[in-house]
A = this chain, B = another copy of it.
Amino acid sequence: MVKDDPSFPPSFPEGGPLAHYRAQASFNWKTMALLLDKEEILRFKYEIWNFLATDPIFAYSPTKRSLHDERRVIMQQTFRIMEKDFLNETKGEIGDPVKVMAMTTALGQYSWSLCTKRSIFMDFFTNAVRGLAKSGYHFDILEKAYKMELTGCVAMTEIGHGTNTKAFRTKATYDTVKGVFILETPDFEAAKCWSGGLGKSTTHAFVMAQLYTPDGQCHGLHGFVVPIRDPLTFLTYPGVTIFDMGEKVGLNGLDNGVMLFDNYAIKRESLLNKTGSVSGDGIYISPFKDPNKRFGAALGNTSAARAAIITMCAANLASAVTISIRYSAVRRQFSATNASEELPVIEYQMQQWRLFPYLAAAYVIKFVGDSIYQDFVNFIMSSFNTDIDPELISNWGIEIHVLSSSGKPIGGWLARDAIQESREACGGHGYLRSAGIGVLRDDHDANVTYEGDNNVLLQQTSNWLLTIYSNPHRSELIDKMPMGTLSFLRIESVFHNLKFTGEMTPQSLLSSYKWLVYYLLQTTAEKVATQQTNGSDSFTSKNQSQVYFARTLAIAFIEHYCLDVFWNKLVQHQDAEIRTVLTKLMLLYGYWSLEKHLGTLYQGGHCNGDDGNVIREGILKLCEQLKPEAIALVDAIAPPDFVLNSALGNSDGEVYKHLRSAMMMTPRGFERDDYWKDIVEVMTMKGKL
């Protein structure tokens, strides 16, 4: 069915075990790949990937490296990447944000430790400092950081507080006599931790601390630039204690550290004073009247990280389904009586249903992640434009915040589940390190926690929805939102009594979701109100309305948003074959997600009688229709073989050859191990046991 074959991206070798399914696709996978990433961006990714593949420093290890070795190797790799300087970053150029994101995923699909370590040196510290920088000293620090004349980390989280950032307890007290801030960690629970790069590799830290003036008053959290290690000896300064947090489930190339301050003096200029400063005689001065606003500004805009994580999740979804779906097309098991050959397991409805919804999700989340990230970039650019109404910017920022606060959780959980289902769907061989799924799971696992625990983050979205909903002027508020995220609520009456029609089309799917969001909004608001009527305070009422209500509301809201964005993008595409297959992906992801709400759809009266069965049969039919497309769909989102690094997921489909090679690479795999003598001793001289 492939009509033409553009020279880029590179073609797969002809023949082999995947050729049969590859040939069945109704669309050209290269066209699809170039729809997912612009050619310039995809070429840039290949430039990075090719660089990794041809330099032995990036060779994979057949066994997990020791903690120490992993740290060392990742550091070397990071230097090599920075030396190559794909974005001219170390020359101080601020790159195209889309390219920065492309580099993040391209490196991340190879190693999330490497990706993150580069970001520590290049992005995290500088972004944190830049957001609050005001004085020449701060810009000097920034300049040095960009040029790698110093290395910095971000120290926010404390041992006792992560989610509740306002409760951080590290103290910075101004000393009028010496003209310095004294940093103090009151106890171990207030020690800074999880800070990436702090453990072993940075000279400076961006530290969030409670600012105290000499009068004993606390002015809330402020950022400080803190020198922590001598840049020549790399020894920590007296008054600073740093140690490595130790081994983690994943991301072990990162040296997360713990830091305690003991009466540690830093100069007055260390305070990043954009949101508040202290005069030489100890008077606190702030441009903000409202401490809440100062707090918001001080914490900085964290949407960037969350928006980026959505795309990182899409990359992990892509890696997971590439491995499991390619393997499923090659692995054969069982056959009908009298059949000459066993069936590839992809032929089984069960296997399709286990994996194809995640393939669909990989597409949807990739589109949506890129879209939210682009919205974020546009928002940031616009926020520098003084001609634009500040209220519009503020509302825009809220919408971005709300989308990233629910987009990250569902992206994170979808990838988590896709990885686990892929592990299981690959059977025993999926349990081998060489399958590549275990490492993916371990590294991905952090995404559901950092930059906000998923369940807590979802409350950012549901709280906003409830606030808008309960506002008597909600139509006006909805209209003021520049992204139009909630505009469908303007015609809410339409959705009151909407019924599932039995048709499974994009329009019908979006309508069902609109009904669901509206129903959940209504019932959640009622639930909160009932709690309050019964005497609970606002904090308790909200907490008691999370499970089955606010939490589900936020999930349904973002699922609808994802489908809406995907649909609006896909209808624009000129290639009818591409539109057809993307529509199937949308329907599969959408109805598979909607089916998880089936109980609620019935309870609220949207579904009746046999509707559930209709939806379920529809999902299975979509799986069947996507079977001939599955390998080409995977080809369009798969990273190159070297980067994927899975014996099961190679593009040539030669699963058993790669498995053999991988197993035969086991160090001392053919040798007797030292303990053979012990076994012989036990067997021959029975006295030992």
Does A449 have its Cβ within 8 Å of any Cβ on chain B? Answer: yes
Scan A648-689; emit 1 where CB is below 8 A from any B CB, else 0: 000000001001101111111110111111111011101011
- Which residue from chain B places its CB closest to the CB of A347 in the assembled complex? B543
Interface residues of A in 177-207 (CB under 8 A from B): 188-189, 194, 199-201, 203
Q: Which of A349, A603, A677 has the most CB of B within 10 A?
A: A603
Does A272 have its Cβ within 8 Å of any Cβ on chain B? Answer: no
Q: Which residues of B contact A680 (CB under 8 A)?
A: 231-232, 234
Scan A427-455; emit 1 where CB is below 8 A from any B CB, else 0: 11011111001100110011011100111
Interface residues of A in 72-96 (CB under 8 A from B): 72, 75-76, 79, 82-83, 85, 90
Does A215 have its Cβ within 8 Å of any Cβ on chain B? Answer: no
Q: Which residues of B contact A595 (CB under 8 A)?
A: 599
Scan A594-607; emit 1 where CB is below 8 A from any B CB, else 0: 01001111110001
Alpha-carbon distance between A434 and B600 when the two chains are bound, in angstroms: 40
Does A157 have its Cβ within 8 Å of any Cβ on chain B? Answer: yes
Q: Which of A454, A664, A682 has the most CB of B within 10 A?
A: A682
Residues A151 and B603 in contact, CB atoms below 8 Å apart: no
Residues A449 and B424 in contact, CB atoms below 8 Å apart: yes
Q: Which residues of B contact A609 (CB under 8 A)?
A: 603
Query: How many residues in A have their beta carbons less than 8 Å from beta carbons of B?
Result: 137
Residues A679 and B247 in contact, CB atoms below 8 Å apart: no
This chain: copies in complex? 2
Q: Which residues of B contact A336 (CB under 8 A)?
A: 537, 539-540
Does A611 have its Cβ within 8 Å of any Cβ on chain B? Answer: yes
Q: Which residues of B contact A79 (CB under 8 A)?
A: 678, 682, 688-689
9 further A-B contacts with Cβ under 8 Å, apart from A167-B334, A243-B669, are A63-B67, A67-B666, A147-B686, A234-B679, A244-B663, A246-B666, A349-B543, A428-B450, A602-B607
Which residues of A does B touch, CB under 8 Å? 62-64, 66-68, 71-72, 75-76, 79, 82-83, 85, 90, 147-151, 157, 159-164, 167, 188-189, 194, 199-201, 203, 231-232, 234-235, 242-250, 255, 258, 332-337, 342, 348-350, 353-354, 416, 420, 423-424, 427-428, 430-434, 437-438, 441-442, 445-446, 448-450, 453-455, 537-540, 543-544, 546-548, 551, 595, 598-603, 607, 609-613, 616, 620, 656, 659-660, 662-670, 672-680, 682-684, 686, 688-689
